[in-house]
Every structure is written in structure tokens, then in C-alpha cells.
Chains A and B, each alone.
Chain A
Amino acid sequence: MGLIDAYRRKYAFGEDYGTSDYKFGPITLGERPEIIENRGYMPDTSSIMYRIVGGEVKRVVVGPEIPLYLEAREDLTERMIYPMRNGVVDKDDKKAWDVIYEITKYGLTRFKPRDPNFKGFYVTAALSVIAPKYMYEKIFDIHERIDEETKLVKAVTIIPQPLAVAIAHKKPTCVVLESGHGNTQICPISRYPIRRAIITLNRGGGDANVITAEILKDCGYGDLVHEEKLVRMVKERIGLVPRNLDEAIKRARNEPERFRAAFKIPGTKIVIDLGENSWMRFLIGEYAFNPSHEVFESFFKRGMPRPKDVKIGDRIISGMMDMADAIIEAVQRCPVELQPYLYRDILLSGGNFAWKVPPGMEDVAVNAAEKIRLMLEEKGIENVNVILTKDPQYSVWRGCIVYSVAVPDDYEWNWDRMEGWMKFR
């Protein structure tokens, strides 16, 4: 047993299949995983050049090699595959699964050790909490195939991303909010994820980008909104989360210079200045937490899409639900005795919680943790400890590493409990 633990201290491996990025690597990387974009490019296999150079050209290209293979710009949408944009991959989406296979193989082979005693990694993969069972089967299939080809996988297991966050932050009882580009998962945890209490909001950083684009259009920068990267940059630079939206708008209108939202896009001559509409910068942050505020109605009426509802089993979760209500609903689905302990630690993880407060604006703007605390307080939930995770990008991977190190080697995968090690040899 001692030998096995020493082995796993070298060969525990984590894989975080995020909506935008794939974070991966062995325990020996220390605090930070390696990161590539969770995407793959499929070169045109019918082209004459593909046939000329034949086997030397890859069918799916992933990682830093992608730019070398890019063809015409119009092909990009069709040939660039982002397999996990919403956390779930369709069972029969062959292209997406091919990309996931290549990404996984890329990650594992990149760290192939030369040690003659190496018998394969103990791999813990993390998926969205809403990933259906067939995704688990497919991920196992992919690892089995890779192991057949490379002997790099000694055992593999799969855990939900919020559980990994709780593990990384050493909190056995807590509520985890994991908010990425496409969605927000709210998962109460008490040693295990409490699956019947999980709430998923179909709302993430992408939705804050949508309202940023609308604001840019309203302020005369409509020509810039087609570049998603630019809109995201504007959101990150000028978007603010208000302590109280009505109060913030009032203050910003009275003191326009103090709250002026203006910045120059690096490397260009473009300067974005919201001028007298600078109060709108507070709408960007508020929308991420509470899109049901009446101020957003005018945007919806003008055609901005509302965040979509999501169906989990036979339940429908409204995309418009504010975050505090979503937390309360998730906690209320847990045993009453447990509820106070869950409120004691609320972990916020993921890029959609990375809101900054510029110096001097602390009286009006807040960070994500304070916003959630205030929203819960308004609804009568007090004494909560909301924690903004450090290095939110790496939390899931770190939790995977802990899981790989700690779960006993002889605990075989159990489909009823959805845990344990799957072994192929």
C-alpha cells in the first residue's frame, strides 16, 4: 500500500474539461496545470493537398499547432470545433468526441515519463455537473483507447467539477458555484455532491458579453461588437458589479466624471468612451447576478435574448433566476439540519466571478463574493461566508489531483455511486 501511495505522488494526473480551456497535467507540475484551449481543428481532408501529403497531416489538430493548419477564414466556423461549449456533448456528435480524444491524448502523451517503473497515470477527469451518464462512458472509452495505444492510463475516474473545487479548497461541507463561459453550476456538497440538489443556470460569462455588446451598440460602437474577444475585453475593463444597482445608477448619473468608463484598446487607436452613459457599466456586472432586474426589460424588448431555461431531469430551471435565489433553492433541497452548515461556506469559482473593484469606488462597486453575500442578506440569509476562490482557473485541476492521490487503489468504479477507479488491464 505504501508503494502505491509513493507511486501516486509521482503519477497522479488531473484533467479539467472546461467549456473554454482544457487544464491538465500530473501532480509534479505543482500548483498550476498546463492549459490549452478546449477546441480542435479539422483540416479539409477532401482537398488535393491532404491527399498529396496523406498520412502526415492530422485529421484533428489540437493544442498550439492549430494556427499552422488554419485555412480560409470562412472555414473556421465549420472546422473549428469547441466540443464542450455548454458542458454537455451530444452522444452522437462524432466530431466533438474526436476532438476530446485528441485533446486527452495530447495531454497524457505530453507528460509521458521515461521512468521504467512507470505503469500508467492515475487519472481523475472532471466534467460539468450536468454531464449525463453517456459522457462518463465516452470519457472512459477514450481513456481505454489511449491506454491501448500508449499504456499511459493505469486507472481513471470521473468527478463533477464543483466537487473538485470543494476538494481543492479543503471544504468538505459547502456550496460551490462554478461559473464559466456558458453556465453556472450550483452544487451543495457534504462529503459527496448532493446530486438531487444541484441547480444549473444557463447563464455565464457569455451572457455578460451579450449585454456589453448591447451597451456598446447603444453608445455608438456597434461596429465593434462582432469581435467577441474585443467585447470580452470591454466587459473586463469597464464592467462593474454594483453594491445596489439603483443606488449605483443614481450616483453615476450625478457624478459622471467619477464613474466615467473610457479606455483605449491596446495596440489600436480605438478609444471607447461611454461618456454620459457611463452609468451603464454597472448593468454589465448586475446582469451576471440578477438579470431579472426591471432595468433589463428595455434590452429584452429590443431583441436581446433572455438567458435560456435549462431542464434537468423533469425540472426546469429559469435562466432569469437571480443567483441568491438559485443558492437558496439548492440548499433547501438538502436536509434541514445540514442547511446552516452549507451556508457557512459558499465557494465562488470560475472566470465569471472575477469582477474587480477599482480603487476609490468601494462605496458603490463590490466583488462577486460581497455581491452574493448582500443578495443573500436581502433575502434574510445571514452569517454566510462567501469565499472567492484563489486561482479559480486551477481549482478543478487541483481537486482532481487530490482525488487521484487519495482514493484507494482497490476501490473499483461503481456506476451506482459514480465513483471509484476504472481499470482496463
Chain B
Amino acid sequence: MSLHAFLISALKEFFKKRGYQLILPEELKVPSEFLNQIDVAVRDANNLIFVKVFSGPPSRTSFTNTAMKASSLRAYADKIYLAAPKELRIMIDGNVLLENGIGLLLVDRSGKVEEALPPRPTTRRAPIISVNEVATRLVSEVRDEVLSVIDERLSEIVRMRDAITALQSRVSELERRLARLEREIERVTREAPRLVSRGITIEERVAPISEEVAEGLEELPSYLRDNPWVEILSRRGREEK
């Protein structure tokens, strides 16, 4: 089964489980040139929902083009979704979807569908307004308002989370510096009394190190072989004592 067919099958299953009614393309009153833009069409009460599947080359430009094409269906549906494989989520430009009111459905490899971004209802068709439609519209408006409040609160939480992370990292940094200072004080305190008596043992310690470094030189990279710095550096911290 191709990726495209797999995605469509998963989407149909998803909508069926939610009690939506699947509509065949020939039942739609949509100009023929737009029909190939609709991969799945469903009805939820009076709402007509179109889904366009993105399975093209995995690039940001290609995704944006698909989103713009899907956007042209807004005059014929109440809601538009774009569906894509979940692994492509990092290249999806959320702002394009948000600005055009297009929802996003992500389909994972097991066929599980997740509504990552709800669509914004379109303003198409306003001819006969029944009580049901008024109620539906009110529900929709209230939902939009609730969503907008949630969106604001979410932004606030993200800002607070960033601030907390910055504070945590600052506190950790200060803790580390304090620990380092304590270690430094401890070292200086420890070494102070020993400084006067150290001279005698220095030569005894230096010789074995250079010998050890000379062992197995053939295994070392060219810049380590016969490098006078090896001996110079191996005496660091000892020559002045």
C-alpha cells in the first residue's frame, strides 16, 4: 500500500470512529478543478469537512504549497484539515496553517491519527439559517473564544516555563561556582603546609612518567611520536616545587 493510500485509510478510520459521515467525491457540490485537492470529505452534523493529504517530497516549500492549495477549498467547506505523516512534523510551518485557519492531523506509522492543530471554521455559506445552525454557530463562536483564551494562557505558561528554566540554570551555575571555590580553598589549605617539604621527592616522581609515555610510541599518532612537548608537559606542576 502506498503512503498516500495508507494515510487516507487511517484518516477514514479516524473519522468513522468519531461518528462522522464519509462523503464520496461525486456527492460534493464542488467545481471539478477542486476535486483533486480533496482526499477525504466527511460531514459532522451540518459541517462539511475536507482533508488534504500531504505525502509529497519532504520539504518545507512543498508543505507550504500544499497548505496554500488546501486553503483554496475554504469557500466550499466548513473546516479544512491538512494531514501528514507524523515524522515530518519538524518541517511543518505552523504559522502558515494558523494564518489560513487550516487544522493539522498527524498520522503515525501505526495509523494512529492525532489532531495536532484544530481548524478555524470558515465563513462560507450563509443562506438558510435554522435554529440548529444558530446553535452550531454559537457553539463554534464560544469554542473559538475558549480556544483563544487557552492559546493566550498557553503562551503565558511557555513564557513562565522559559523564565523558570533560565533561573534554574543560573542557580545551578552559581552552585557549581561555589563548589569550585570550596574545592580551591580546600586545595590551597591542604597544600600550604606541604610546600616546604616537597622538594626532596620531585625528581623521583618525574622520571617514571617520561619513561611510561615513551612506551608503545608506535601506536600513537604522528604528532605524538618524538614530540619534545610530551616530556615538557609531563613536568608541569612539578618543576617549580
**Interface of A toward B, CB cutoff 8 Å:** 1-2, 5, 9, 27, 30-31, 45-53, 57, 68-72, 94, 137, 140-141, 144-145, 166-170, 172, 191, 398-399, 401-403, 405-408, 410-412, 414-415, 419-420, 422, 424
Contact A172/B237 with A31-B221, A398-B221 known, Cβ cut-off 8 Å: no
Closest B residue, CB atoms, query A44 = B95
Q: Decide yes or no whether B172 CB sits under 8 A from chain A.
A: yes
Interface size on B, residues (CB 8 A): 48
A47 touches B95 (CB 8 A): yes
Report whether B212 and A5 are in contact in the complex, using a CB–CB cutoff of 8 Å: yes
Whether A402 contacts B229 by the Cβ 8 Å rule is yes
Chain B residues near A53: list those with CB within 8 A. 89-90, 116
- When the two chains form the complex, which single residue of B90, B97, B187, B227 contacts A402, counting CB atoms closer than 8 Å? B227
Q: Residue B158 at the A interface, CB < 8 A? A: yes
User: Are A408 and B236 interface neighbours, CB within 8 A?
Assistant: yes
Q: Are B213 and A141 in contact (CB under 8 A)?
A: no
Determine whether the beta carbon of B90 is less than 8 Å from that of A57. yes
Taking a contact as CB atoms under 8 Å apart, the answer to whether A48 and B90 are in contact is no
In addition to A68-B91, A141-B173, A415-B184, 13 A-B residue pairs with Cβ atoms within 8 Å of each other are A5-B209, A49-B92, A49-B93, A70-B60, A141-B176, A170-B226, A172-B228, A398-B221, A401-B223, A401-B224, A405-B230, A408-B209, A412-B237
**Would you give the shortest CB distance from A288 to chain B, in whole angstroms?**
27
Asked whether, in the complex, the Cβ of B227 is within 8 Å of the Cβ of A71, the reply is: no
- A48 adjacent to B212 (CB under 8 Å): no
Determine the chain B residues whose CB is within 8 A of the CB of A172 once the complex forms.
228-229, 232
Residue of A nearest to B176 (CB): A144
> Which residues of chain A are within 8 angstroms of B228 by Cβ–Cβ distance?
170, 172
- A-side contacts of B127, CB under 8 Å: none
With A168-B223, A172-B232, A420-B237 already in contact, the answer to whether A52 and B90 are too (CB < 8 A) is no
Partner of B187, one of A140, A166, A412: A412
Which of A48, A169, A191 counts the most chain B CB atoms within 10 A?
Answer: A48
C-alpha gap A166/B94 in the complex (Å): 51
Contact B236–A49 (Cβ < 8 Å): no
Closest 8 CB pairs of A and B: A49-B94, A411-B237, A406-B233, A48-B94, A398-B223, A167-B229, A406-B230, A52-B116
Contact between A170 and B229, CB atoms less than 8 A apart: yes
* Distance of A403 from chain B, by nearest CB (Å): 6
* A411-B92 Cα distance, complex, nearest whole Å: 52
- CB-CB < 8 A to B216: which residues of A? 9
How far in angstroms is the closest Cβ of chain B from A335?
18
Known: A30-B221, A45-B162. A420 touches B176 (CB 8 A): no
Q: Mark B157-180, 1 if CB is under 8 A from A, else 0.
A: 010001000100000110011001
Q: List 24 A-B contacts (CB under 8 A).
A: A1-B212, A45-B158, A45-B162, A47-B94, A48-B95, A48-B117, A49-B89, A49-B94, A53-B90, A69-B90, A71-B93, A72-B93, A168-B223, A169-B223, A170-B228, A172-B228, A401-B224, A405-B213, A405-B230, A406-B232, A407-B233, A408-B209, A411-B238, A422-B180
What's the minimum C-beta distance from A421 to chain B, rounded to whole angstroms? Answer: 9
Chain A: minimal CB distance from B225 (Å): 9
Q: How far is the CB of B60 from chain A (nearest CB, A)?
A: 7
B98's contact among A45, A48, A145, by CB below 8 Å, is which? A48
How many angstroms between the C-alpha atoms of A403 and B224 in the bound complex? 10
Whole-angstrom CA separation of A405 from B93 in the bound complex: 48
Residue of B208, B222, B228, B236 contacting most chain A CB atoms (<10 Å): B236
